[in-house]
Each structure stands twice: as structure tokens, then as C-alpha cells.
């Protein structure tokens, strides 16, 4: 096995007094299929949410290829904090005395149908702006600077590890309770999944420049291929919300694959599927892995888990009780107990 | 294989029919062209609102505030009482830019609010802008409004001859019953309130361009981001989309279009009017157009604007006039003067739409498949 792609180190998730995940460490090897199993309420989905950035782990850290995907405090962030601060400072300083400034720089200098002394007006505006004294100029400037810069800073610090940051690092997921974009077509759902790889800008899109059209046509072609891959190639223009349940699950997988992630996290992909669909799904999961994408899945369907995974992690009451290959887990008395209960003796 | 380029025709058939219908309106009387300008202005306002409400799924109850900002920016930057005097096109561009800036200023700190809370913020913003404009009377002339404002011009042409001269030559030649004189081609480009038909056509061109741009956005990457955020914000986030940025862009573009419509209206009225002209009623009227026409559908919004403004500015006054000439109507009695029915019809239209056709007259392409 090669280096680990995800390493969750001693992750704990607490919600108030409830500890949903306690001190769980999970290593996911590159190119493997890893399953996380456990009874309902064991904290599997919470662990997924912590990994994908929906929650920030209370304790512990989660690395992807040895790196923690976070927005760093780089020059852009600092520059934008400063810029926002200065902009707010001047906005506030102008706003509190806007009538006085207007009178000084426009009304007193403008005579009807005569040339307007622009330079003089600018000077008058400046001297009036900074001539408001302590309360008129400096306090508004200071308040604006502090609130603008700190507001921008707070927004940055709160969005350091949001799902979009994690997703940009190449982590894609599906949801236990399917979360498609129901009113968009299948193709559009998949193209939204591709968004991270698209580059066309606002102006190109607004004017429908050839570059934007070309990108759109390419994205569409790729989306059709992906839909074919998951077996939905025949109804690409339907609204996603109209699909039967099993197909919606496949569409979610196609959407997650569209970003060409390094790792894809599947949350109960076989839920609600009939036996035939389940077999197809197992083939699909293996095909995804064979195409080079690492797979992590939560699943209750033991056939899927035992038939596909290289490594299994077992959670119960938020704690990891076992880890191993399918054969090891099958024969682990603790796991059997967690699922089936203890055998009554005597 | 469905051809991917099919969607890149500049307009859909429905939009072409509607724009053609609007273009044919002056054939039925020049007064229609005058009210047609209002239809166009409200269509642009509603298209802006649609980007926020229909496409991004944010309830916005203060769109009129941005129209007010657009009107006053146009007023301040073009009126002769102030030194800027940018002219018609410069005024429009500045109004749209200021509108977008105001949208960002309101949106950046508040777009993280969800659902109803954002609606309350936008509602409050609408009231604040009105009050601010009313009280800053050194700049905005308070309830008097800024006037007179320049009407539409086509650049370069108005330099050839002054408006009054052209109107004079034109009216004299018409009075003489003579053929169009050699110099009169200038008059064709001269747009004034005496010739609202040309002005109306100019506005129709602006509307067509905006429909084209909106349509491009609808099928662009940004458009898909908006839809994704509307349908499921968390799922969109997990697809590496930043909902805050997408929402802020929607807010800014919506505000820019609203400001543009405000400026165009101010230009028609030759005055910004008083600040209370841009009150909650206008926001609701715009929302009515979006909902009655078909939320999320550009074609629907054109229909909505024609139906609602047509009802308000053409049909009801016409019925009132007809009743008065027939001797059964009187302006002093609310019941016999249909002109006073407009709020009733708005409410009735909304109730009927909600009951019988909740997706609007024209379904957006997504809703069709339901």
C-alpha cells in the first residue's frame, strides 16, 4: 500500500454535551477502497462531515496527502482586509458629513453654465473631509477602518475550512439523504460538479464569447460520458428530481466524480437499492477505484462492504472499536457483537 | 445527440415574439409608445430582481431602493444644476455602476443571513434609502426631486443640431404637409418627448441587449452556480462552489439592472421624482411581475411586465376614459373609476396565479419537466 491520502488523527466531534465522534483515527491509503461501518448513530456520517469540512473537528486534525486544506493568511487576505478597512473608513467619513462636503466642494464652487473648477473642488473636498475635527473626521475614519478590516478578517477566519475549501483540495462526496439539484437536468447537475475545473470568466460568459461556448460544449461532452459511465446515459435532459431513487444515487456519484477528485466519499450509496442495482453499484465502485480515485464509503449493506473494501473501520457509540481487512472484521467478536448483540450464555 | 449550441441562439422564439410584439406597439397609437417605455423600464427592473429571487433563490423586498439609487445617480450626474453633466449614456453607465456598488455594500455583510432574515434586511434597506434621500436635501433636493434631466440621445448625432430646431423643422414640415425635407434625417435620430416612438425603440434595443445578456448568464457557469446555490447550498459548497461569492454577484448584477431601470425612468420623467416614488409598492410590483410572469423565466418576465404594466398604465386608464365618455364613470367615485383598481388587480393576479398556476404564466425551463 502506498502513502495515506486521508489521515484523520484523533478526531473528536462534540456538540454541546454530546460526543458524536471520540478520538477516532482513520488512515485511507491511496488507491484503496475503505469502508466505515457501524450501527446507526455510531458517528459515521459525523466523521464524514468532519472530513469534508461541514464541521470543524473539536479536537484532532485531518490531513489530505499530509496537508491541512485551509485558507491561509496570505498576502491577498491581508491586502483585502486593509483595502476593506480603508474603503469603509472613507465611506463612513464621507457618509457622516456628506452634506457639508457637498456644499463645500460643489454648491459653493459651481455657477450655472460656467466651467467648473475641478482641481479647486477636489482640494475643497479634501480639506473639508479632513477638516471635520476629532468627531467629524477622525472618529469615523477610525471606526470604519476597525470595523471594515476586522469584519473582513472575521469572514476569513470563519471560512478557513469550509466544504468548498476541502472540495477544492480534491475531496468529493455524496450524501446519505440525497442532495441533488432537483430542478436542474442530469447534465447540469454533473456540470455543476465540474465547476472547480472550469475557468471561464464573467465577461466571457456575459457576452457568450467563443471561449465560454467552447468550454460549455466540452463540459457537456464530458458530463455525457460520465453519465454513461454510471449508467444514466439515456435520460440526460430529465430533471434530476424526477429520477427514481436508485438512479438519483448514481447521479450523485457522477456529480461527485465530475470534479476529478483524488478521493470520493460515498455515504450509504446502496441504501434503497434492490439486489440487482446493488451488484451494479459494487461494479461501479470498483471501476471508480480502477480509474485511480480512492474511495471511502459508509455502508450497511454487508455484501457491498465485504465484497469491495480493502480495509474496514468499525465505529460504535462514536468510538473506533476495530480496524482490519474484511476477513479480520468478520471474525472479530467485538464487531459481531456490535451488530448482532451479545450471545446469551447459559 | 442534442446539439449543445442550440441554446446559444441570442433569443428564444418566445422572446423574439414578445420583443416583436413590443416593437409593433406604436402601430396602435403613439400613446402606446409612451407607456411602452414604462413597460420596458419595469421589465428591466424585474429582470434584475429575477436574478436574485428567481435564479439565486434569495427573497429580495427592497429592489426599488436600487432603482432610486440609479435614478438619483443619473439625476445628480446629468442635471444642469450640478457640474458633472455626463449626458444620457454616461449617466446610465454611472447609475448601473453605482447600483452594483450599492448592491455589494448591502450584500457583503448581510448575505450570510438566511431566508426571511435577508428579506427583512432588504425591506429595511428600501426604507432607509428613501429616508436618506428625503433628508439629504442639499444634494437630492428632498421631496422636490432633481430636474430637469436630459432625455435619451443617440451619441454624436445631437451635436449636429439642437433639439428645439429639429423639432421645429419637423413640426413645420409636417404642418406644411410637405415631403420630408433634406435635413430632416437628423430629426430621426433626435429623441425627445415629442417623439416618444424613437425613444421607445431605443429603450427596446436596450431591453433586447439586456435580455441577451441575461440569457447568456442563465446558461453560463455563474448561472449554474446560482441555480445550485438555490437548490441546495450545502451540496453546492461540497462541489467547491463558494455560495457567498455567487450570491454577492447575483446581488450586484440585480442591483445594477435595477439602478439602470431607475435611471431610464428618471430620464423619461425628466425628473428623479420624490424619494417616496421608490417605495415598497414598487418592490412589490416588480416581484408581482416576476411571479405572475414566471419566476426564473426571462420570457415569463417579459410577459409579466407587459401584462402588469399594460393593465396598470394602458388598460385601466383606457377603460376609465371610455366609461367617462360614456357618462357612467367619474373620478370622484372609487367604484366607477377603474383607474383606482390597480392594487386590487395586483392582489387578485397574485392570488389567482398562486391558485391556478403557481409557476407563473410562462414556466421556467426547469419547472416544465416537473
Q: Are A313 and A36 in contact (CB under 8 A)?
A: yes
Q: Is residue B162 part of a domain?
A: no
Helix H or strand E segment including A14: strand A4-15
**Residue B263 pLDDT > 80:** yes
Beta strands A263-267; A294-298: pairing state: parallel
Average pLDDT over residues B158-173: 40
Q: Are A66 and A42 in contact (CB under 8 A)?
A: no
Q: Is residue B170 part of a domain?
A: no
Helix H or strand E segment including A9: strand A4-15
Smallest Cα distance from B101 to chain A, Å: 12
Residue A234, classified by CB atoms within 10 Å of its CB into exposed (0-12), middle (13-18) or buried (19+), is exposed
Phi, psi for residue A160 in degrees, rounded to 5: -70, -40
Q: Is residue B243 part of a domain?
A: yes
Is A164 within 8 Å of B242 when comparing Cβ atoms? yes
Torsion A147-A148-A154-A155 (CA) sign: positive
pLDDT value for B342? 78
Beta strands A171-173; A59-64: pairing state: unpaired
Average pLDDT over residues B53-66: 95
Q: Is residue B255 part of a domain?
A: yes
Angle between helices B87-110 and B243-269 in degrees, nearest 10:
150
Strands across the sheet with A18-29, in order? A18-29, A4-15, A59-64
pLDDT value for B166? 42
Cross-strand partners of A320: A315
**Residue A8 pLDDT > 90:** yes
**Residue B370 pLDDT > 60:** no
- Which part of chain A is CATH 3.40.50.300? 1-69+162-170+262-346
Average pLDDT over residues A231-253: 91
Q: How many CB atoms lie within 10 A of CB A156?
A: 17
| pLDDT greater at residue A27 or residue B12 | A27
Q: Is residue B66 part of a domain?
A: yes
**Residue B37 pLDDT > 60:** yes
Q: What is the DSSP string of B190-233?
A: ---TT-HHHHHHHHHHHHHHHHHHHHHHHTSHHHHHHHHHHH-H
Smallest Cα distance from A257 to chain B, Å: 10
List the one residue out of B314, B343, B304, B244 whose CA is nearest residue B46. Answer: B304
List the one residue out of A68, A64, A50 whose CA is nearest residue A3. Answer: A64
Q: Is residue B274 part of a domain?
A: yes
Task: Identify the domain containing residue B133 by its residue range.
Answer: 4-153+191-364
pTM here is 0.90
> b/e for B303-334, b at 16 or more Cβ within 10 A?
bbbbbbbbbbbbbbbebbeebeeeeebeeeee
- For A242, name the nearest residue in chain B, comparing CA atoms only: B370
CATH of the domain at B18: 1.10.3470
Q: Which of A110, A206, A259 comes nearest B240 by C-beta? A: A259
Give pLDDT tens digits for B83-114.
999 989 999 999 999 999 999 999 998 988 88
Is B221 within 8 Å of A200 when comparing Cβ atoms? yes
> How far apart are alpha carbons A108 and B115 in whole angstroms?
47
Give pLDDT tens digits for A43-73.
999 999 999 999 999 999 999 998 899 988 8
List the one residue out of A132, A191, A155, A137 whose CA is nearest residue A81. Answer: A155
Q: What is the CA radius of gyration of chain A?
A: 28
Q: Class assignment of domain A1-69+162-170+262-346?
A: alpha beta
The verdict on A150 touching B (C-beta cutoff 8 Å) is: no
The verdict on A12 touching B (C-beta cutoff 8 Å) is: no
Beta strands A33-37; A4-15: pairing state: unpaired
Q: What part of A 309-328 touches B (C-beta under 8 Å)?
A: none
Q: Are B228 and B55 in contact (CB under 8 A)?
A: no
Q: What part of A 225-244 touches B (C-beta under 8 Å)?
A: 236-239, 241-242
Q: What part of A 106-145 touches B (C-beta under 8 Å)?
A: 106-107, 109-110, 112-113, 116, 121
Q: Are B358 and A231 in contact (CB under 8 A)?
A: no
Helix H or strand E segment including A324: strand A319-324
Q: What is the CA radius of gyration of chain B?
A: 21
Q: Is residue B167 part of a domain?
A: no
Residue A262 grid cell: 483524488
**Residue spans of beta strands (DSSP E) within B115-184:** none
**Residue B171 pLDDT > 80:** no
Average pLDDT over residues B140-150: 90
Residue B341 grid cell: 383598481
As a whole-number percent, the residues of chain A with pLDDT over 70 amount to 98
Helix H or strand E segment including A60: strand A59-64
Smallest Cα distance from A98 to chain B, Å: 8
Average pLDDT over residues B116-124: 94
Q: Is residue B175 part of a domain?
A: no
> How many domains would you assign to chain B?
1
| Region label for B363, one of left (φ > 0), alpha (ψ between -120 and 50) or beta (otherwise) | beta
> How far apart are alpha carbons A328 and A309 in whole angstroms?
12
pLDDT value for B174? 41
Contacts from A113-116 at CB under 8 Å and sequence distance 24+?
A113/B80, A116/B83
In this prediction the ipTM stands at 0.92
Q: Is A296 helix (H, G, I), strand (E, B) or coil?
A: strand
In order of B9, B224, B283, B297, the CA distances from B215 in angstroms are 9, 12, 23, 10
**Mutation site for B-interface testing, chosen from A195, A248, A264 by largest number of B Cβ within 10 Å:** A195
Q: How many CB atoms lie within 10 A of CB A301?
A: 19
> How far apart are alpha carbons B106 and A43 in whole angstroms?
40
pLDDT value for B195? 65
Amino acid at each position: 500500500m502506498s502513502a495515506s491520502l486521508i489521515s484523520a488523527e484523533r478526531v473528536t466531534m462534540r456538540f454541546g454535551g454530546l460526543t458524536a465522534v471520540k478520538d477516532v483515527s482513520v488512515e485511507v491509503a491511496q488507491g484503496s477502497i475503505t469502508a466505515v461501518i457501524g450501527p446507526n448513530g455510531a458517528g459515521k456520517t459525523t466523521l464524514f462531515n468532519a472530513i469534508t469540512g461541514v464541521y470543524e473537528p473539536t479536537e484532532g486534525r485531518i490531513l489530505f496527502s499530509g496537508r491541512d486544506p485551509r485558507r491561509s493568511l496570505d498576502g491577498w487576505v491581508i491586502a483585502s482586509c486593509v483595502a476593506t478597512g480603508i474603503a469603509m473608513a472613507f465611506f463612513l467619513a464621507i457618509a457622516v458629513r456628506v452634506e457639508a462636503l457637498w456644499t463645500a466642494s460643489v454648491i459653493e464652487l459651481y455657477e450655472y453654465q460656467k466651467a467648473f473648477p475641478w482641481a479647486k473642488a477636489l482640494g475643497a473636498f479634501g480639506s473639508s473631509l479632513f477638516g471635520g475635527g476629532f468627531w467629524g473626521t477622525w472618529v469615523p475614519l477610525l471606526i470604519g477602518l476597525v470595523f471594515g478590516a476586522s469584519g473582513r478578517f472575521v469572514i476569513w477566519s470563519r471560512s478557513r475550512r469550509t466544504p468548498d475549501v476541502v472540495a477544492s483540495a480534491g475531496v468529493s462526496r455524496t450524501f446519505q439523504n440525497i442532495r441533488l439539484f432537483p430542478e436542474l437536468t442530469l447534465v447540469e447537475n454533473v456540470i455543476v460538479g465540474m465547476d472547480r475545473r472550469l475557468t471561464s470568466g464573467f465577461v466571457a460568459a456575459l457576452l457568450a464569447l467563443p471561449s465560454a461556448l467552447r468550454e460549455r460544449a466540452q463540459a457537456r461532452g464530458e458530463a455525457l460520458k460520465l453519465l454513461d459511465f454510471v449508467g444514466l446515459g439515456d435520460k440526460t435532459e430529465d430533471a434530476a428530481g424526477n429520477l427514481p431513487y436508485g438512479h438519483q444515487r448514481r447521479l450523485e456519484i457522477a456529480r461527485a466524480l465530475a470534479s476529478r477528485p483524488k478521493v470520493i466519499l460515498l455515504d450509504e450509496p446502496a441504501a434503497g437499492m434492490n439486489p440487482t442495482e446493488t451488484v451494479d453499484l459494487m461494479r461501479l465502485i470498483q471501476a471508480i477505484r480502477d480509474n485511480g480515485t480512492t474511495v471511502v464509503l459508509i455502508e450497511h449493506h454487508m455484501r457491498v462492504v465485504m465484497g469491495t473494501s480493502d480495509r474496514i473501520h468499525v465505529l460504535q457509540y462514536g468510538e473506533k472499536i476495530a480496524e482490519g481487512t474484511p476477513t479480520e472484521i468478520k471474525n472479530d467478536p467485538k464487531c459481531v457483537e456490535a451488530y448482532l448483540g451479545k450471545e446469551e450464555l447459559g | 445527440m442534442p446539439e449543445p449550441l442550440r441554446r446559444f441562439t441570442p433569443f428564444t422564439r418566445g422572446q423574439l415574439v414578445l420583443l416583436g410584439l413590443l416593437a409593433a406597439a406604436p402601430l396602435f397609437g403613439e400613446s402606446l409608445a409612451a407607456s411602452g417605455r414604462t413597460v420596458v423600464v419595469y421589465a428591466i427592473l424585474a429582470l434584475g430582481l429575477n436574478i436574485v429571487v428567481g435564479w439565486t433563490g434569495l427573497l429580495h423586498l427592497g429592489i426599488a431602493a436600487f432603482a432610486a439609487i440609479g435614478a438619483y445617480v443619473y439625476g445628480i450626474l446629468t442635471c444642469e444644476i450640478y457640474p458633472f453633466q455626463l449626458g444620457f449614456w454616461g449617466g446610465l453607465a454611472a447609475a448601473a455602476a453605482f447600483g452594483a456598488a450599492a448592491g455589494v455594500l448591502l450584500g457583503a455583510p448581510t448575505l450570510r443571513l438566511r431566508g426571511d432574515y435577508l428579506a427583512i434586511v432588504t425591506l429595511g434597506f428600501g426604507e432607509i434609502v428613501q429616508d436618506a434621500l428625503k433628508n439629504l436635501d442639499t444634494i437630492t433636493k428632498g421631496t422636490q426631486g432633481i430636474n430637469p434631466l436630459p432625455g435619451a440621445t443617440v451619441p454624436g448625432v445631437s451635436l449636429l443640431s439642437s433639439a428645439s430646431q429639429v423639432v421645429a423643422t419637423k413640426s413645420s414640415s409636417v404642418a406644411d404637409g410637405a415631403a420630408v425635407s433634406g435635413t430632416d434625417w437628423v430629426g430621426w435620430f433626435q429623441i425627445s418627448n415629442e417623439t416618444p416612438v424613437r425613444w421607445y425603440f431605443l429603450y427596446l434595443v436596450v431591453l433586447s441587449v439586456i435580455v441577451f445578456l441575461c440569457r447568456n448568464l442563465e446558461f453560463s457557469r455563474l448561472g449554474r452556480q446560482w441555480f445550485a446555490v438555490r437548490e441546495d447550498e450545502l451540496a453546492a459548497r461540497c462541489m467547491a462552489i463558494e455560495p457567498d461569492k455567487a450570491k454577492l454577484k447575483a446581488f450586484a448584477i440585480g442591483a445594477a439592472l435595477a439602478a439602470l431601470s431607475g435611471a431610464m425612468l428618471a430620464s423619461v420623467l425628466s425628473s428623479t421624482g420624490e424619494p417616496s416614488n421608490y417605495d415598497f409598492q414598487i418592490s412589490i410590483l416588480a416581484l408581482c411581475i416576476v411571479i405572475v410572469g414566471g419566476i426564473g423565466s426571462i420570457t415569463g418576465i417579459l410577459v409579466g411586465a407587459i401584462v402588469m404594466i399594460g393593465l396598470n398604465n394602458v388598460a385601466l386608464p383606457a377603460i376609465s376614459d371610455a366609461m367617462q365618455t360614456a357618462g357612467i364613470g367619474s373620478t370622484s367615485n372609487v367604484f366607477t373609476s377603474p383607474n383606482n383598481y390597480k392594487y386590487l388587480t395586483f392582489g387578485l393576479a397574485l392570488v389567482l396565479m398562486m391558485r391556478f398556476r403557481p409557476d407563473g404564466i410562462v414556466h421556467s425551463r426547469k419547472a416544465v419537466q416537473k
